[in-house]
Amino acid sequence: MKEISDLNLPEDVKYTKDHEWAKLDSDIVTIGINDYAQDQLGEIVFVELPEVGDTFSEGDEFGSVESVKAVSEMYIPISGEITEINEALEDAPELVNESCYDSGWIIKVKPADVSELDNLMDKPAYLDMLKG
Amino acid sequence: MPERLNLSKRCAVFMDLGLLKYSTALDLQIQTLQSKINKSVKEDRIFFVEHPSVFTLGKRGGEENLVVSRDFLTAKNVDFVQTDRGGNITYHGPGQAVMYPIVDLEKNKIGVKDFVHGLEEIMKRTAMDYNIDADRNLKNHGIWVKNSKIGSVGISIKRGISFHGFAMNINPDLKPFSWINPCGLTDISMTSLEKEIRKSSTNNYDLSMERIKNTFIKYFSSIFSYSIIKTNAN
């Protein structure tokens, strides 16, 4: 298991307390699980995805990731409508382990209120939370 | 000095449910989980139980790994339950010690990996208490004695709180495992503490659930730094 100092935590995304990440590009937010979460879960064997067009409120469960050890739910950090899901994960869930911020992204959301992103943590705040 | 009470110490209430139907125990787990999510129950809870014979499926199924028909199971009076835990098909029955820790991993800062590793460690050390050399195996999670599986782990996490848990074969009838490919694996065999002890010794060992229960409590407490309060289910 990785030490906190070895975690890959990019500066240009925001973090949730449930170890998801979110990144705003023009008016769409991309969401995935972060390096800590994928490392903790171990080899991911299945990602349960929502449907395009589903709408969620901030904090709702939107899917789950299953590893050889555990099933863990994922919670959406921003209210809005799913515009895209990463269909590649259906055949290659291991992308979440290999590249959690890039080809292992999970959903894209059109936010109802982009200011909800302000509630998320930047890298230093997230690191503080991990260190407890 | 009255400075001895450490309020930050992890604390769990341990409850022995005795022999309880799988679905009833699952309802109790879900109820407890909900009470912890809505904060009406603060302390963590650990359930210890044996189930009457039942096959359970993981979140993504596993019925393809049932090698007998459903009618056969009905005739043998074995239940069949769909669950939302990780992993594939498995069997529970009398003589198997099952533990369900409903633990706030988020609040207690326990990582999923450490938690699963620790649950495996409880089974490993329990086996070692009986001089049985058990360990992890790259084939699959859980605890093994050489190429035979003695204990399985499968947990779920909701709002940072764990449910489901692990099951260790103490002295169950192992035959029903041959009606499935356990955990979706072919070509593996299952074993039990009793079976392994008999291979190496003619001595009588105390394999009572009471002793196993206390062993689980001892190791859960030391591995995860918990103080544990025992209560009886009513």
Min distance B154 CA to chain A CA atoms (Å): 6
Task: Show the domains of chain B with their CATH numbers.
Answer: 10-232 (3.30.930.10)
Distance CA A42, CA A1 (A): 9
CB contact under 8 A, B60 and A17: no
For B114-125, the pLDDT digits (tens) are 999 999 999 999
To the nearest whole percent, how much of chain B has pLDDT over 70?
Answer: 94
Over pLDDT 90: what percentage of chain B?
Answer: 66
SS3 track for B82-105: ECCCCCCCEEECCCEEEEEEECEC
Rounded average pLDDT over B58-62: 75
- How would residue B8 be classed by pLDDT, with cut points 50, 70 and 90? low
Size of interface A-B (CB pairs under 8 A): 56
| pLDDT single digits (tens) A64-96 | 999 877 889 999 999 999 999 999 999 999 999
Predicted confidence band at B55 (pLDDT cuts at 50, 70, 90)? very high
Residue B234 has pLDDT above 70, yes or no: no
Interface of B with A in 97-116 (CB under 8 A): 106, 109, 111-114, 116
pLDDT at B3 over 60: no
| pLDDT tens digits, one per residue of B127-152 | 999 999 999 987 777 899 999 999 99
The CA distance from A38 to A127, in Å, is 16
How far apart are the C-alpha atoms of B138 and B143, rounded to whole Å? 10
Q: How far apart are CA B179 and CA B99, in angstroms?
A: 24
- Beta strand A70-75 with A80-85 is unpaired
Entry pTM: 0.87
* Ramachandran angles phi, psi of B14, nearest 5°: -105, 130
pLDDT score, position B233: 61
Give the pLDDT confidence of B28-49 residue by residue, as tens digits. Answer: 999 999 999 999 999 999 999 9
Q: B10 in contact with A at a CB cutoff of 8 Å?
A: no
Indicate the burial class of A95 (C-beta count within 10 angstroms; 0-12, 13-18, 19 or more): buried
Residue B183's pLDDT is 66
Q: Which of B109, B155, B159 lies at the smallest CB-CB distance from A70?
A: B155
Buried b (16+ CB within 10 A) or exposed e, B116-149: bbbbbbbbbbbbeebebebeebeebbbbbbeebb
Q: Lowest mean pLDDT of A41-45, A108-112, B151-155, B179-183, name the range.
A: B179-183
Average pLDDT over residues B204-232: 94
Nearest by CB to residue A70, choosing from B106, B140, B157, is B157
In the predicted structure, residue B7 carries a pLDDT above the cut 70? no
Domains of chain A listed by start with CATH number: 12-114+122-127 (2.40.50.100)
Q: Are B113 and B123 in contact (CB under 8 A)?
A: no
Mutate to test the interface with B, among A18, A46, A47, A72 (most CBs of B within 10 A): A72
Q: What is the ipTM of this complex?
A: 0.79
pLDDT digits (tens, 9 = 90+) for A20-38: 999 999 999 999 999 999 9
Q: What is the pLDDT of residue B121?
A: 97
Task: Select, from the ranges B48-62, B176-190, B217-231, the one with the highest average predicted confidence (pLDDT).
Answer: B217-231
Residue B140 φ/ψ region, left for φ over 0, alpha for ψ in the -120 to 50 degree band, beta for the rest = beta
Q: Which candidate, B191, B196, B193, places its Cα nearest to that of B208?
A: B193
